[in-house]
Amino acid sequence: MNQLFLHLLGIRSDFQQLFFTNEYKALSGKKKRTIIALVTILSLTFLALGFAVGGRENLQQKMENPFTNWVDLEVNNYVSQNSSELQEHYSKPEMLEKFQMDNTNGFSRYTIDFCFKNFDPFQLATADKNDSYQGWGRTIEPDESIFAKVLDANSGNLVCQKEETLEDVAAAYDGCGIIVSEDLLQQLGYKDPCSVDYLVLQDDYPIIVAVVAVVKELPTLCKFATSAKLYNILKRKSDGGRRCDNLIKVNQEGDNRFLLLTKNAEAAQQLPAAAGAFFGGPVPSLEAEYEYQIADEKWQGSYISFLPTDAPTLDSMKLFVQSIKKNIPAAEYATLECGSSLCRHIDPKDLHYIAFNFVKLDLIRAFRDDLEKEFGIPLDMSQVDSKENFALVSRLTFFLSLILLGFGILSIVLFVNNLLRNHLFEVRSNLGTFQAFGLSNRFLVNTYLKIIFSFLLLSIGLAFILAAIVDRLEQYWMGNESRFDLFNVVILAAIAVLVLISLLLSNRTIKRILGDTPGNLIYER
């Protein structure tokens, strides 16, 4: 045995070291069979616990993520008539507590035509449908809990966000920003999702919207998420009698200010002189609106303003834009007036789903029964069954983890204890002789406990290294879908409990066998 290790165990005299070494070898068995068996048992135990704990954690993450613990009620004509009352009823604190719910919200699903990365507005007066990709999305309000869950950096779902804090992201999002999935950006031809600051939407005119965050997934398999305001604007809805499409600002007949998009700021500076020459009047003034970094280009949005008496017609402006394309690539586009407090609410008749967010899924069947009793609305049984099954699997995984933990500890403790008992019974006559010549019982108890501790320390170390190798390989193959977690506080606590119980039980066994008189031990009475 290593001298340093023996000194750390408090074994210093030659006799102590000789006795410890001989008994250690005897308990180890031929060719270290005892150590090999113990390492094998511990390795299998660590592997079983690693997969059980990892699987449990994975299920727990799914139980708490924004994609699992929601139940969506599709809005039909009847539900639409009762949607306000229904949401108010299940938003009451007592109802939320009764069914273990977090909140209730309505949302709408809709499509947007996104222009591809290589889209060039300067080549087309209006975009062709073949130059766009239609993606499905949904509304999420910044004050909903799902908004923060989708953008939770600790969940692994967030790829990147354009603002430092969640509050700043929410403000930009409420100002007609958009959250998009990685998959959408790949479909549009973007290789680096975090480099995308703006996307171009295809409408009557190109509309530029800011990307506030990129995520791996969005609820209900959507490609993007927007506020209710942007939904109302793009889908020409109304809010309180106000037409929301009025918040789309485009060039109109009778205007004396015209919004044009150029490839860069230098091209925009050439617009006034070109307009004065084309229309044969005073040179209009130029007012920079905004600079957009889209794909690999910097686009400049600018207003050119004419005197009211010299303002051209809308058709004349279109002809002007066409005439300068070769020298000054320019195009008409639309901006959104998103600073307005209008159009923030979706009309109940425009809601497509009412979503119920559960903290736990245990009472989902009771919720379904209450929904049918109070409002006469049946909930899709497949949703109820799938959520209940998910909750059941999660509970079963927890109990199986406890059973595996208890079984693993019990197996190792019994193995060590039986090994020690059998050995002590075989050598008890010799130990009785040692006691008769003055060897203290305390020395024997402490020495055998140190041997058992050494066995456990060595076996646990080797078994942990083997399990750690499996852990690294599994994570390499599975990536974010890893179901193995070896470096967990539960497993570390299990190791401590294992060592403690083994030493306590071994101490009891040693004292019971060696606590007899030397004579009884010598004559095996």
pLDDT per residue as tens digits for the range 249-265: 889 898 999 999 998 88
Contact 114, 190 (CB under 8 A): no
According to the model, what pLDDT value does residue 44 have? 83
Structural domain boundaries of the chain?
3-63+390-522, 70-244+340-380, 249-336
Q: How far apart are CA 226 and CA 172, in angstroms?
A: 11
Contact 328, 82 (CB under 8 A): no
Q: How far apart are CA 202 and CA 132, in angstroms?
A: 7
3-class SS of residue 179? strand
Place of tokens 């852990």: 471
According to the model, what pLDDT value does residue 517 have? 67
Give tens-digit pLDDT for 84-134.
888 889 989 999 999 988 888 889 999 999 999 888 888 754 444 457 899
According to the model, what pLDDT value does residue 272 have? 93
Sign, CA torsion 489/495/498/501: negative
According to the model, what pLDDT value does residue 341 have? 79
According to the model, what pLDDT value does residue 273 have? 93
Chosen CATH of 249-336 out of 3.90.1150, 3.50.70, 1.25.40, 3.30.70: 3.30.70
According to the model, what pLDDT value does residue 512 have? 81
According to the model, what pLDDT value does residue 126 have? 44
According to the model, what pLDDT value does residue 127 have? 42
DSSP H helical ranges for 180-248: 182-188, 228-234
What are the average pLDDT values for consecutive 10-residue runs of the chain, which has 525 residues?
58 70 77 82 81 69 63 80 85 90 89 90 57 91 88 87 92 94 93 92 90 91 93 88 85 91 90 92 88 85 91 92 89 87 85 86 84 85 65 73 78 83 79 73 80 84 85 70 69 83 85 72 64
Q: pTM, whole model, 2 decimals?
A: 0.67
According to the model, what pLDDT value does residue 465 have? 87
